[in-house]
Amino acid sequence: MKLGNDKLHLQLEIGEVQFSYVYIRKNACSSWKKLFVNESLYREKAKEFNNPINFMSKYHKVKNTNELELLENRIVILRDPIERLYSGFINQFISRLNKNRYGVMHEEVGSFLEKPVEEVTFDEFIKQYILKSGEEVNVHFVHQVSHLANVEYNKKWMLNDLYNESESFFGKSIADKYFKKKLNSTQKIEKIKGDYKFVPAGKIYELYSERGAVPSLDSLIDNDIFDILREYYEKDYNFIANK
């Protein structure tokens, strides 16, 4: 079966280790892009592309499930779905809530909710956008399992264990070079406590731009939102539980 762009699998060989990797946004994908670009036999061609993914798709894409099953090591990086959503909301939506940095996500959310994105609260973002946008939901928030092919993944690594897993698989040199330092991580941003679920995104952006701080996960996700998201991402949680 052919693998489309929504199920992007890439293959690479480092030393004598050959593997496939599933591209899933917000799951350390920046570190994996760096690895593919730097370790590729075609690395000199990378500068011809304006995006690492375009380069990776050109030279390292796995075309179909038959080709994928021939690869002995099939890696998928998994992450707690609620932590992943929180990271996407902060990094992709809040931190770029500046008209000079508006991205596709801001256009999609504003268009779907029919209101300025600065006025959108986290409660609305979840209940009116995530839950109701269906297949229109931004790619950063789709289910992780939706990226997977109908094959067995024998290297199911949790994001929190990525460094240790990569060290065991690739060796310390590669692990230190690509997975020791977290890229684009919300962990680096100061977290503050409070009730921010109903605070407009524009006000949260002011907090971020003026203080370099954002609401903590539990300042946005109360028991009500937690239960909603736990059900919404049930397939992801089940897949992780069967790791």
pLDDT in tens, 158-190: 999 999 999 999 999 999 999 998 876 677 789
* Summary mean pLDDT of the chain: 95
Measured between alpha carbons, how far is residue 53 from residues 9, 10, 57, 117, 141 in Å? 11, 10, 6, 28, 19
Residue 152 has pLDDT above 90, yes or no: yes
Alpha-carbon torsion, ordered 224, 228, 230, 235, to 10 deg: 180
Q: Are 100 and 178 in contact (CB under 8 A)?
A: no
Mean pLDDT of 93-101: 88
> pTM to 2 decimals?
0.93
Residue 72 has pLDDT above 70, yes or no: yes
DSSP, collapsed to helix, strand or coil, labels residue 23 as coil
Q: What percent of the chain has pLDDT over 90?
A: 91
User: Which residues are CB-contacts of 131 (< 8 A; sequence separation ≥ 6)?
Assistant: 228, 232
Helix (H) or strand (E) holding 21: strand 17-22
- Which is higher by pLDDT, 232 or 185? 232
Residue 97 has pLDDT above 70, yes or no: yes
Q: Strands 9-14 and 17-22: what pairing?
A: antiparallel
Mean pLDDT of 2-7: 91
Mean pLDDT of 25-46: 96
Q: What percent of the chain has pLDDT over 70?
A: 99
Looking at residue 10, the DSSP 8-state letter turns out to be E
Residue 148 has pLDDT above 80, yes or no: yes
The pLDDT, as a whole number, for residue 185 is: 67
Measured between alpha carbons, how far is residue 227 from residues 127, 130, 230, 233, 242 in Å? 12, 14, 5, 10, 20
Residue 109 has pLDDT above 90, yes or no: yes
Mean pLDDT of 92-116: 93
Helix (H) or strand (E) holding 176: helix 172-178
Looking at residue 182, the DSSP 8-state letter turns out to be P
What φ, ψ does residue 95 adopt, rounded to 5°?
-65, -20
Tell me how far apart the alpha carbons of residues 185 and 238 are, in angstroms, rounded to a whole number: 25
The pLDDT, as a whole number, for residue 146 is: 97
Tell me how far apart the alpha carbons of residues 70 and 139 are, in angstroms, rounded to a whole number: 28
